[in-house]
Structure formats: C-alpha cells, structure tokens
Structure 1
C-alpha cells in the first residue's frame, strides 16, 4: 500500500504534462501530499522498530568472552537510554549510522530513542506504531526523558509517558519541561529547599546554559550563540549590549541595530578578558593600559600566488572551524583589531611525502595530515581533524626491528590518517577495516561487508555486499 502511494506521488511530480496540464485539482494535490506524509511517518515508525531490533542483536553479552582481561580502549557496554532500558554493545551504532547515511552520534540517538520508547514510554511507543503520534514527536519526548537531570526512574518515566500519551503526544517543549519538573518533585528525585515556594518546583530542573554552536559557521563568517541565564543576568547583559550598540552609533557606525548589538557583545567579551589579564598581573600592556586579549585561534586556508615580491591571496578561502567558506576581507577585518594576535604559519606541501623513523608523529607530519584530511576520515564523521588522533592505517609493529623484519606500518604520510578517539578505538578493537587507496582517500569495510569511500568531499557508498551464497558476477 505504501509503495503505490509513493509511485503515485512520483508520477504526479515527474509525469508528462506535469503542471497545469496534469489535470490535478487543488484537492488532489493536497491529498497526494498528505499520503506522502503518511508514508514518511510510517517509514519513521518502522525505522524505530528496526533500530530497537538492531540493539537486541548487540547486547552486552555479545562483547564478553570468557577468560579475558580488559584491554584499554576496547568495546564496552553502554547505556544509551534511561533506567530500565537494556544496555548495548558500544560499537554497534557505527555500522547502523553508515548504512543509514548519518553520523555515529545520530545513530546512537536513534537507537537510544527507540529503546527509551519501547521500554520506558510504552504508551507513546504504541501510539507511534498505531499512527496516532508521529515518530519525530515521540523522539522529542524520549530525548528529554533520557537526559533529564536528575535521572528519571522507570516509574517516573512511566508517569511522563501516561501524561503525554493522554494528549497523543501533542505537547510543546515548555509544557514538557514543566511536566518533567513536576515528575521530579512528585517522585522525590531531587533535594528541594523546604523553604522554597512549592509553585517554583519547576526550578528543580536548571535550564541555564550558554552554548556556542562552533560546528555551524554561517557563510557570512558568523556563529550562533544560544543562552538561558538568570533573569537579572539577562537584563544586565541586555543593558550592556544596548549601551555598546549606542556607543558604536555615536562613534559613526551606520550598521543596523542588530549588527551593532552583535558587535557590542564581542567588544564586551574582549574588554572583560583584557581586564581579567590585567588584574592577574600581566604586564605586557597596550597604549590604553590594557593587555592584549587572550589569543583566539582561527585556522583559515587561502590559495596564494607570488607577484614579484608580493604574495597575493585569493578572495575566498576555507575555515577549519565548521569547514565553511570565508572571505579574505572578513579575515582582514578580524585581524585589524589592535588586541588581535596574528600568527602566520609556514606553508606545508600536502603532496610531499613525509616520514619519521619511530612510532611518534612529529608536529610537521601531524599538521600535514590535519590539513589533508580536514576531519575524521571514518564514514559520515565530521569531527575536525585538529582534535583527532593520528592513526597508523597499517598498525606499527613494535617488534619488527628487534626481529629483523621490515616495519609493516611505518610513520609516513601514506600510512597515517585522522581518526576521532571513538572511531580510532573502533578501528583498533572491532572488525572494521580501512585502507588508503590514494592520498587522502580511504575505503572502509564494515563488519557485515558494507563498503564506503571517504575523502575530503564526504562519504560515498560503494557496491553493496554480496548476498550470502550468491557470488558477484565478474566484471570484464
């Protein structure tokens, strides 16, 4: 039934005479859109079932073996849902993520939400599979009940489940937060102040945070900051930013109010940092008596050409923070501040093989691998290479020299890759295998035979694994 709906939708969108001549009325078009939405919701609900079954195939017992001792970094059992949900083998999430085309973190969330719903929010789970609640709405509730602080017991999660299921999942973020707070108080999960007003029980859940979304850099060179602070702090900050924006206008700035407020916040941060250093006894002061602000490191890469004795940079470059485009004029503006410390590093030729004699990786080779790979080279992973381990693709053999054998895993550019700590452990302690087939190009094979190619442009899925007992035809 689902497939016929999808075929009808595709025929409407791409068939001959699509548009005015397709004969569809407005009602027909709305009905097709609704059918497509129903198919999408059904597929999302099915995906939750399959994710939970994948977890069932990888219980903690699947990684335990008799008469063994723990090896540092090896796979362990991990709770990815709340109290009462089963534990899973840590590494199983990676293969599911690569096959689905999502990151390991996203796959971990998917499995965690499925287990949370099935074991701790069973009413909501049933409503999802009855088509009464969309999977995305149920996953929002599961995400909240998994990560609530203090942790919800199974009984407390059941109370939340009953309340949310009663309204068929139609609950907003603020209502959900208040419901969780009421649950915490009802089940005595937090130590409350006996002098506090009972009506303020929701404060048991502390919503305060300041989050800088450094993995999401806008093409304009901006970054989003999200915060939840005390009321008094918010009002004080608003006054300080408003004063700074007005000062910039007085000094001649013709930028919009929003732009001036954003700039004032940055000025406020730099000034406060400088005052902190001044108070701590730093004596290297500028003309106004304040020391330079702490160094902010931005790794930006631009193509350059030599014109006589002058180096000419291209107008656009790439910024490592978030792997985004950056304009040369933006870098010039950022570096123009008198309290900005600028460091120019020498160029490293990415095409020149570098080799070290021992196992340890010298700084120059490490920097070359970081610049070449840009991110962790595991399929779908986007963790910046600068925060990754540098892995020997073919492992270094510490006994080779003593036994008079050639070193199978030398410390050389063609045998090194950037892997985040999780995927480094995965490669070392699981059946995942990979090889470098060209400089900066890697081919991975998962435990069940799925193959992926990874380079600095992203991940490509290669030919699927052979079905059991059916050999793949030879290519001529």
Structure 2
C-alpha cells in the first residue's frame, strides 16, 4: 500500500506524500502544540476567574441552602488560600469550550489550585516540562484531600511532585497526600492507630465501593470497583463462589465469571429485601413467601410498530437513566426475573400541546416535558430531565390574570423546559437568556453574546469564529 493511499484520510493541511520519518516528526510537533494549548487553556481559565471575583457579582449575593432559586454567590472551587469566584461565570466559559458546567468548574479549579498552591508545578506546565493533564491530576488530589490541605501542606506536595517533573502515579500521589496530612498534623487525631504498614499512622481511609454508571458497555454492563476490609473481602468471595456453584448445579451454562457477577446482583437484591423485612417495613410478600425487595425504577423507551394485528417493539431503545442504549433482549431478560414488577405507562403523544391554568405544573405536563427534553436543556448539560425543575421559558406573570392581561408565560408545553437547579438559577438571576424556537429546540444567548442551540440531538455553537456581542467584560476588582 502506498503512503498516499494509506494516509489519504489525514486532515486538511497535512501533505499526503509525507515519508514515515516526516510523519513521526509531524506527530511530535502536533503533540507539542497540543500540550502548549492545554497549558495556555489553564492560564486562560485562571484569568477568567480573575475577571470574576466575588466583588463582580451584581447586587447582594445570597445562597439558599435548601436548594432554592437563590441569587449568584461566591464559590470556592479550589483549595484553601485560592481566590473565590463568582459562580455564574463558569457556565459561559464551559459553553464556549463546548463542555458541561461541572467540567468548566473543574478546569478553573485546577488552574487556580496550580497557580496559587502548586506554583512549582504551574511553572513546569508553562515551561513544557510537565503536561497539563499530569498537573491537573495532582491538583484534583490536593483540592479534594480529606482533611483539607493547608497552603503549607499543598506546597510540600508541590515540591515533591515538581522534583520528579510530575512523573508520579496515582498510588504514589495518594501516599504523598496522606504523608502531607500526617506531616502537618491535619487529622483530628494524629495518634490514631489506623495502621499504615510502615509507621502505623494512615489518615486516609482507602476503602470505597464505586459503581461507574457513566460508562456503560454495549452489552449493558457497568464497571464496579471496591477496596474493602480483608475479612469483608473473604466473606464476599465465599458468598460469590457459593452462589456461582449453586447456579451451575441448577443448570446455568454461564461462565464462572458471569455467574459470580450475577451472584453479586442477587446478593444485593436479597440483602435489601432482608433489611426491609427485619425493620418491619415490608407489609407485602411475593408469591414465594419472601419479602418484596426495595423497588428500583428504570424508564425504558422503545419504538413500537405493528405486524399484522401484533404490536412489535424495535430491537433497540433508550434507557432514560443515563441516556443509554438499551437492547430489547436485555429488557426481556430483566423482565424474566420472577421478582421484577413491570409497569407499562400509556403512550404520550409529544405532538400535542398540553396546558394548565396557573403557575403549578401538573404531573402529566411534567412527564410530557421530561420525555421531550431528556436532559436539562442548557447547552452541554447532561442532568436527567426527571431530576430537573420545569421552567417557564417566558416567565409566568402572577398578576396578569388579576389585572385582566394576557398571560405572557403560560404553563403550556410550548413554554416549558427542563432546567437543572443551577441553570435554572443562572437563567433567573443572570444575563443568560433563551427561547424555544421550535418544540424542543432552544437557542441560548450568553452575557457576552455567544449563541448556542440545543435540541434532541445535542448542543451546538451558532457563533462565527468572532461572534458579535457586547464587549462588556467585568474588570477585576480587589478588596
């Protein structure tokens, strides 16, 4: 195969006739450019934070602890000693970068942590000695250390990591943070004999049990990782081995690994049922005499067609939890479990417009909006709509009816949208604005004039490379 044929898919600006040596040189050049751009992006994020200190918040900042629609407040997004940031500024940087608000918040937090608490590492990133992603890994660890690292403790971690140019694995990094906690006596009880294998003082409990629901395999499986006590691990291993052997004796043709995995789910269901039974919270029993397990609700959506007089579901559908692909075979296997309760809800016609008097949103209209929007409709937000507020796109006027005026913001599906609490507050208390240009299609405008479209296919920027808009950028004001 010729070089031209093999590399004809390279992007614009790359010569198709490059030799292998030239391609390797190009790869190195592009990687250097990528690292430089990542370092520059951290600098931009830190500067963006500088332009939005708490003093830039318009009016008195308040925050409703109960999760209400409080106004903008100052937010610590890095470790102690880093400057606070006006929380709403994060969203606009995220949309311009085409990432979610939490991802933008993490970027700004890492930038501030590196610049203010890990200055050696910050310098190495900008000199090219350490790639930005390595430095951000360290920043993530020092931001979220428990107990929180003081500036002195973070500086000590910085000196240790900078000495090896950032070449440190996660396990070594965890040990450094634990050592910083001990060295600077940050734990509540520095003599706690929660034994470290070396010196008897480990102040970071490594135990955890993590179910990664964000990364779903096409086969409908998720990754589970845990670190538990040795005694618990041995008990769990024996329980899984026993259940796997029982399944095989009952005729299961699954592999040993698959039977052990299935046993873990069976163990969870049995345990929740026993817990409820022992606490006297289960009033009903299943047909086999066992208490009904705690209910877990999944919302599966399939397109149905007709074949003669029979309704037929398509082979693939959507699992609302996590917006994941769902195979009909998977749903069938779940429904085949004798302890699964199935509820089939009426089909909702999303082409109809539903409305209700007053400001309150009835359940039937909420369900309609949830099914149409899927997630929060702010650009690149992935919060499931079922956990969102239902917002009046054009605000509801509580005095219109009493004064005999037409209602500018009716409680109608063509004026309602799903917004997570943060973006609901953002829309209510900032210069962000949006409109519904078609059913389920929203156009957002940021405080600086950037425009974004969000529909059922996702989010997209509507701006040219240099979008028009007011050039008003808050100037940093120091106390």
Same fold (TM over 0.5): yes
What's the secondary structure of 1:203's corresponding residue?
coil
How far apart are residue 123 of structure 1 and its match? Answer: 0.4
Rounded to whole Å, the distance in 2 between the matches of 1:113 and 1:175 is 19
2:3 aligns to what?
Answer: none
- Secondary structure of the residue aligned to 1:344 is coil
Match of 2:121 among 118, 121, 124: 124
Name the stretch that deviates more: 181-190 or 27-36.
27-36
Q: Which has the higher contact order (CA 8 A, sep 6+)?
A: 2
Give the match's secondary structure for 2:325: strand
In structure 2, distance between residues paired with 1:263 and 1:52: 47
Superposition pairs of residues 341-420 of structure 1, within 5 angstroms: 341-420=341-420
For 1:434, the equivalent position in structure 2 comes to 434
* 1:76 maps onto 2:70 in alignment: no
Q: How many residues align?
A: 456
- Which segment is superposed worse, 75-84 or 455-464? 455-464
Report the Cα distance in structure 2 between the residues aligned to 1:463 and 1:288, rounded to whole angstroms.
62
| Residue in structure 2 matched with residue 142 of structure 1 by the alignment | 139
1:95-152 deviation digits (Å, cap 9, x = unpaired): 0000001110000000000000000000000000010000000000000000000000
Structure 1 pair 404–15 and aligned structure 2 pair: CA distance change class (3 A): closer
Measure how far apart 1:43 and its partner are. Answer: 0.4
Q: Does 1:24 align with 2:19?
A: yes
3-state secondary structure, aligned to 1:93: helix
The farther-off stretch of 125-134 and 28-37 is 28-37
The alignment status of 1:58 with 2:55, answered yes or no, reads no
1:266 and 2:265 correspond: yes
Matches within 5 A, 1:177-188: 177-188=174-185
* Stretch moving more, 247-256 or 329-338: 247-256
Q: Secondary structure of the equivalent of 1:302?
A: strand
Q: Given the superposition, is the C-alpha separation of residues 279 and 452 from structure 1 closer, same or farther in structure 2, using an over 3 Å criterion? A: same
The answer as to whether partners of 1:84 and 1:154 remain within 8 angstroms in 2 is yes
Tell me by how many angstroms 1:207 deviates: 2.3
Structure 2: gaps (5+ residues): 1-6, 472-479
**Equivalent residues in 2 for 1:84-233 (5 A)?**
84-192=81-189, 194=191, 196=193, 199-200=198-199, 203-233=202-232
Kept in 1, the 8 Å contact 2:243–2:263? The answer is yes
Partner Cα distance (1:12, 1:278) in 2: 62
- How large is the Cα RMSD of the aligned pairs? 2.2
In 1, Cα distance between the equivalents of 2:182 and 2:167? 23
Q: What residue number does 2:450 align with?
A: 450
Distance 1:458 1:195, change over 3 A: closer
CA contact 2:182–2:190 (8 Å) conserved in 1: no
Bigger shift: residues 234-243 or 313-322? 234-243
Q: Secondary structure at the match of 1:255?
A: coil
What per-residue deviation string (whole Å, max 9, x for no partner) do you get for residues 315-334 of structure 1? 21111011111111211110
Taking the aligned partners of 1:153 and 1:239, their CA distance within structure 2 comes to 43
- C-alpha distance in 2, partners of 1:70/1:149? 25
| Structure 1 residues 205 and 378, CA gap change in structure 2 (3 angstroms) | same
**Cα shift at 1:234:** 2.0
Superposed displacement of residue 283, structure 1? 4.3
Moved more, 95-104 or 333-342: 333-342
The offset of 1:173, in angstroms, is 0.5
Residue segments in structure 1 that go unaligned for 5+ positions in a row: 1-8, 470-476
- Greater share of residues in helix: 1
| Cα pair 1:244 1:264 within 8 Å, conserved | yes
Q: 2:333 matched to which residue of 1?
A: 333
Assess if the C-alpha contact under 8 Å between 2:244 and 2:259 holds in 1: yes
Answer yes or no: is the 8 Å Cα contact 1:212–1:223 preserved in 2. Answer: yes
**Partner SS for 2:437:** strand
Residue 41 of structure 2 corresponds to residue 44 of structure 1: no
- TM-score, normalised by the number of residues in structure 1: 0.91
* Secondary structure of the structure 2 residue equivalent to 1:226: strand
User: How many Å separate the matches in 2 of 1:12 and 1:390?
Assistant: 45
How far apart, in 2, do the equivalents of 1:11 and 1:213 lie?
A: 35
Q: Which moved more, 1:52-61 or 1:224-233?
A: 224-233
Separation of aligned partners in 2, 1:70 and 1:367: 29
C-alpha distance in 1, partners of 2:396/2:192? 63
Structure 1 residue 70, shift from structure 2 partner: 7.3
Superposition deviation, residue 228 in structure 1? 2.3
* C-alpha distance in structure 2 between counterparts of 1:351 and 1:73, whole Å: 34
Residues 211-248 of structure 1, C-alpha deviations (whole Å, 9 max, x = no match) = 22223333222222222222222222122122222222
What CA distance in whole angstroms lies between the structure 2 residues aligned with 1:444 and 1:383? 17
Mapped to 2, the partners of 1:217 and 1:23 lie a distance apart of 39
Distance in 2 between residues matched to 1:167 and 1:373, nearest whole Å = 48
